[in-house]
Amino acid sequence: MSTLSIDELRRVERHLRLPGFGMKEQLALHDAHILIIGAGGLGCPALQQLAAAGVGRVTLIDDDVVSLSNIHRQILFGVKDVGRPKVEVAAERARELQPGITITPIHARFTPENACDLLGQADVVIEGSDNFATKYLCADAAEITSTPMVWGTVLRFAGDVCVFHSGPLAPDGRGVGLRDVFPIQPDSTFVDDCATAGVLGVTTSVVAGLMVTATIQHITGLLRPDLPQLIHYEALAPSVHTWNVSADPLRELVTDLGIYEDSTCAIDPTAGAESSWSTRSFSGSMFNPSPARGSRSVSVLLDMVARGEAIPVDIREDFEVELRPWPGCEPVHLPMSSTTEIPSSLKGKTLVVACAKGIRSARFVQKFSDSGADMYSLPGGIDGLVG
């Protein structure tokens, strides 16, 4: 076990004054190696808090660059950082907080090819991505390597946190993993991401704080619960609820990585904050809707609009339309959040319905399938047209 410099002792002095938290616990943080997946809304505040807490070594992986829309919740970034790799900027900020930290920024995607190697070198992994594919890849790699995984998700005004530790090196030789609670990765065709459904920026910091608290508890051994606990946080009418989670005795441990298709991690944007994904069953029909009627390719649908054979309908919200108009098109605007029926002027017509990414539009077509209009959802949405 290493020792702390005088400057580091001064920096973490308030920790050492805590009852039950002494030099042993601080040195455990200093000697720990944490892997953070994602330098976004959860990864940024998590890294900030881990560096401030005195964690000695962090590996941070993310393949994205800073954009202006990140800054309201990804608190390590500023306007001058737009266009730079997120991991590069985040590492600089972490070193400013704790000059002695060893941080390895990896500007790359977290994949089945590097997952087990990265997790096998870490004491704990903080899973802060924004998509189900990465979360399930991390969970499976964590089970294979028996690496404790601090899992978190946030959307709109709510978030969830849990520490999963499963695999042969778990304390009981089995443990509890993500797939014990949520066995199947949700289908990507029926979920939106925070870019579509929105997120209160400060909620990500609160959820990240809960994740880092759980990480510190795990590393130092402070008041760790006997059973893993899923924590659900609500920002509005603020509340925190916890549930004990246990292993599914019929589920076999994961021993090999599988195929992980991209899917965003979120809730129905027309639902309330209580609908975060952790409170739902993945085995139900919510994540397996019936196919949209009359599916056609983007090029065919755009040709129909161009020839006047179909009416374009934009169901995005006002601010979305203002930020990113439908290129070369003057659509009918029917915001999904306020549309209760198809206007009579559109009944009997052929409609091409578009949202940002094609997820809400597919729901819209299903919802109003008996409205008297012949509707098609534009695959990939407006974002797919403008990049």
pLDDT in tens, 116-129: 999 999 999 999 99
Model-level pTM? 0.76
- Can you read off the two tokens belonging to residue 335? 């915001």
The chain-wide mean pLDDT, for the chain, equals 86
* Catalytic residue list contains 138: no
**Is the per-residue pLDDT at 275 higher than 70?**
no
- The pLDDT tens digits of the residues spanning 206-235 come to 999 999 999 999 999 887 777 788 999 999
Distances (CA, A) of 81 to 60, 78, 89, 104, 192: 17, 5, 7, 19, 27
Domains, the chain, in order of start with CATH, read 32-287 (3.40.50.720), 298-386 (3.40.250.10)
Eight-state DSSP code of residue 78: -
Position 358 scores a pLDDT of 87
Buried b (16+ CB within 10 A) or exposed e, 166-204: bbeebeeebbbbbbbbbeebbebebbbbbebbebbeebb
Q: Largest alpha-carbon pair distance within the chain?
A: 77
Q: Which helix (H) or strand (E) holds 37?
A: strand 33-37
Position 293 scores a pLDDT of 47
DSSP 82-144: TTSBHHHHHHHHHHHH-TT-EEEEE-S---TTTHHHHHHT-SEEEE--SBHHHHHHHHHHHHH
Rg (CA), the chain: 23
Write down the catalytic residue from 44, 116, 162, 194.
194
**Is the per-residue pLDDT at 298 higher than 50?**
yes
How remote is the C-alpha of 95 from its chain's centroid? Answer: 25
Q: Which helix (H) or strand (E) holds 301?
A: helix 298-306
Higher pLDDT, 274 or 327: 327
**Is the per-residue pLDDT at 282 higher than 50?**
no
**Is the per-residue pLDDT at 83 higher than 90?**
yes
Identify the weakest region by mean pLDDT among 71-75, 172-176, 265-269. Answer: 265-269
Position 266 scores a pLDDT of 40
**Is the per-residue pLDDT at 295 higher than 60?**
yes
Sort residue 372 into left (φ over 0), alpha (ψ -120 to 50) or beta: left
Contact by Cβ (8 Å): 233, 206:
yes
Strand 149-155 versus strand 158-166 pairing type: antiparallel
- The pLDDT tens digits of the residues spanning 32-62 come to 999 999 999 999 999 999 999 999 999 999 9
Write down the catalytic residue from 44, 162, 265, 355.
355
* Catalytic residue list contains 265: no
